[in-house]
Amino acid sequence: MKIIQSLTDYHNEYRRSVEQPEIFWADIAGDFVWKTKWSKVLEWDFHKPEVKWFIDAKLNITENCLDRHLPQRANQTAIIWEPNNPRDEARHITYAELHREVCRVANMLKAHGVKKGDRVCIYMPMIPETAYAMLACARIGAVHSVVFAGFSAGSLTDRINDAGCNIVLTADGAYRGDKIINLKGIVDEALQKCPDVKTVLMAERTGTKPPMQAGRDYYWNDELKKVNEICPAEETDAEDLLFILYTSGSTGKPKGMVHTCAGYMVYTNYTFRTAFQYREGEVYWCTADVGWITGHSYIIYGPLSAGATTLMFEGVPSWPDWGRFWQVVERHRVNIFYTAPTAIRSLQQAPLEFVRRHDLSSLRVLGSVGEPINEEAWQWYHKNIGKGKCPVVDTWWQTETGGFMISPISDVLPLKPAHAGLPLPGVQPAVMDEQGKEITTSPAEGRLVIKYPWPSMARTIYGNHQRFKETYFSTFPGYYFTGDGCRRDSDGYYRITGRVDDIIIVSGHNLGTAEIESAITEHSSVCEAAVVGYPHDIKGQGIYAFVVGYTMPPELEQEKLRQEIRDTVARIIGPIAKPDKIQFVSGLPKTRSGKIMRRILRKVAEGDTSNLGDTTTLLDPNVVEEIKRGAIG
């Protein structure tokens, strides 16, 4: 494969990828280990929708992440694991060790009856066992469904049942700064409503000795002792499921996005190497949790398939103090550092002394992901962390896209602060106007769609292809709709402006407002709720809830009720979804047909009530006055 090294390379490669996409991707795919090559590169139809890449090819992704590296890099570090507590020692796991551990865990799964195609739920902290677990599933052709360990028991129940998992991998507890989270306790609670789960394998991290249910729960290390370390890689089809990963929807329950083996492997590898210009021997650190797509694609699969050294960090940026990230960069001589704008903004608030104290001279590239990065944060990051020398690679992509779509290419494409930039080769974005027509001139502003398939796109929503079609392929028939708005300038650079649907991004986490509303109404005093996002200095967006009680709570009881509502949401979804602001109202602004006018609520939440637009279609315009009066600033 050709790695782009100049602006000319980029333009040539981009042109080739659009004019001859199949040849372009076949070239790139040629560098991997296949058990059988493809008979055809691509079949697609965005109307059905159906997309297949590398048809009839057989492979195992772990052979590409592990076995093929052994001849040259058995003793190179594959994973640097930095524990939560800076006083504890980091671990360096070589490719040989990683290979061995993955094979052992794979054999342990087999011993517990896991077969090709089975779904395995992984609810684990940021420890090496979690990486082994994901790769072990892939090794035997099982499908992992990683659930972020910050989700509540209820969210875990839903995800386990939706994916039809009958085994859960977990740990006794998780460290997060100075806190211990009782993961096994959450699993126990979740499993009360998961009749199909027969087995729980529990790694020990915190040594908290939670109760174990005989016949169901097993200690990871005991089970591991019973198996050997030889595990041939199962042959999977290019289009077999590699994993399911849930993401919030603008309505209804979270969607289990399905990713398949070959296209995902080829694309995450290509984009990792291209956007960051990864160089042999470099240390790369992505601060995401493996429970999100960023962790899947750019802590595990992309870097490992590229033979990189990837750092996995168990801790948080703020503990023991705000210098923790920079201490890790210094300690491991990190060359590529990839984080989220929300983290950058909170680090920016801490005294600069925390940055200055550490030697950051190893840094070569900085990355950003998860939400639009505001210009101020971009400048701070570039100046204080990158010392003005490191390009900021602002990667725009989604759980659904599997890998980077629009992104700067380190040192190759001229940077524009706060712009994701140009599409990577193979990606054909377009901007649609209000009427659903493509705007072919620049500058342009509208909704961002993708016109042509790329290898790592999600293939469906697990168990609900109809919803997949409705969510992504119906707004603009024949196009993949991203749900994002964007602007394209006269140089063709894209700037993503944010979601245009009812998804809000809070500290880089996608949350469906409908899901939060439904959690709030679980509180016995709440009759109805509407949730919108509002600009928040650190989190990007904050959560503003308008709540209608069965009776209006008296002033003195409101704070207590707010706390109860927050607790309810934390219990049902997880602490990340707790509303920042809760305003009690006697009614919501609704149209005559009963639709909540969110536009008005958004304005109120943003603190801009000067012009609420047309309110004449409201059933009861008086509620607007009341809402304006009670707005929480």
Q: How far is the CB of 214 from ligand 7RM (least distance, A)?
A: 39
Cβ(15)–Cβ(425) below 8 Å: no
* Residue 557, token pair as written in the block: 């009881």
The rounded distance, in Å, linking the Cα atoms of 409 and 504 is 28
User: Shortest approach of ligand 7RM to residue 483 CB, angstroms?
Assistant: 5
By the 10 Å C-beta count (0-12 exposed, 13-18 middle, 19+ buried), 540 is classed as buried
* DSSP collapsed to 3 states, 253-285: CCEEEEEEHHHHHHHHHHHHHHHHCCCCCCEEE
Residue showing tokens 């509180």 = 523
- Which residues is 393 bridged to in the sheet? 367
Alpha-carbon gap, residue 215 to 197, rounded angstroms:
12
Nearest approach, Cβ of residue 397 and ligand 7RM (Å): 5
State which residue, 418 or 588, has the beta carbon closest to ligand 7RM: 418
CA distance linking residue 157 with residue 160, whole number of Å: 5
Cβ-based neighbours of 276, under 8 Å, separated by 6 or more: 284, 336, 338, 365, 367, 393, 410
In this structure, the number of other CB atoms found within 10 A of the CB of residue 442 comes to: 15
Q: State which H helix or E strand residue 516 sits in.
A: helix 513-520
Shorter beta-carbon distance to ligand 7RM: residue 448 or 627:
448
The angle formed by the CA atoms of residues 334, 541 and 487, to the nearest 5 degrees, is 80
Cα angle, residue 182 at apex, residues 220 and 332 outer, rounded to 5°: 70
| Contact in structure between 624 and 587 (CB atoms under 8 Å) | no
Angle at 314 between CA 533 and CA 225, to 5 degrees: 130
Q: What minimum distance in Å lies between the beta carbon of 290 and ligand 7RM?
A: 13
Binding site for ligand 7RM (CB under 6 A): 247, 292-294, 368-372, 394-399, 420, 482-484, 496, 498-499, 505, 510
Nearer to ligand 7RM, 305 or 368 (CB): 368
Q: Is residue 493 a contact partner of residue 419, using CB atoms and an 8 Å limit?
A: yes
Closest CB 205 distance from ligand 7RM, rounded Å? 26
Query: What torsion do the CA atoms of 591, 593, 596, 602 make, to the nearest 10 degrees?
Result: -50
Q: Which is nearer to ligand 7RM, 505 or 623 (CB)?
A: 505
Q: Which is nearer to ligand 7RM, 234 or 501 (CB)?
A: 501
CB 335 within 8 A of CB 97: no
Closest contact distance (angstroms) between CB of 417 and ligand 7RM is 13
From the number of C-beta atoms within 10 Å of its C-beta (0-12, 13-18, 19+), residue 39 rates as exposed
At closest approach, how far in Å is the CB of 371 from ligand 7RM?
A: 5
Which residue lies nearer to ligand 7RM by CB, 166 or 271?
A: 271
Residue 348 or 507: which CB sits closer to ligand 7RM?
507
Identity of the amino acid at 423 = P
Instruction: Give whichever of 106 and 392 is closer to ligand 7RM, judged by the CB atom.
Output: 392
- Could you tell me which residues come within 8 angstroms of residue 470 by beta carbon, excluding any fewer than 6 positions away? none
Backbone angles phi, psi at 630, to 5 degrees: -95, 5
Q: In Å, how far from its chain's centre is CA 572? A: 20
Q: Tell the smallest beta-carbon distance from residue 615 to ligand 7RM (Å).
A: 29
293/427 with CB nearer ligand 7RM = 293
Residue 420: count other Cβ atoms within 10 Å of its Cβ.
25
Q: What is the 3-state secondary structure (H, E, C) of 285-298?
A: EECCCCCCHHHHHH
Of residues 535 and 621, the one with the C-beta less far from ligand 7RM? 535
| Min CB(142)–ligand 7RM separation in Å | 23
Q: Tell which residue, 526, 503, 110, 84, has the closest CA to residue 327.
A: 84
Given the complex with ligand 7RM, which of 218 and 454 has the nearer CB atom?
454
Q: Which is nearer to ligand 7RM, 124 or 275 (CB)?
A: 275
CB of 221 to ligand 7RM, least distance (A): 33
Min dist CB 21 to ligand 7RM, Å, is: 23
| Minimum CB–partner distance for residue 375 and ligand 7RM (Å) | 13
Min dist. Cβ of residue 415 to ligand 7RM (A): 13
Closer CB to ligand 7RM, 290 or 565, in the complex? 290
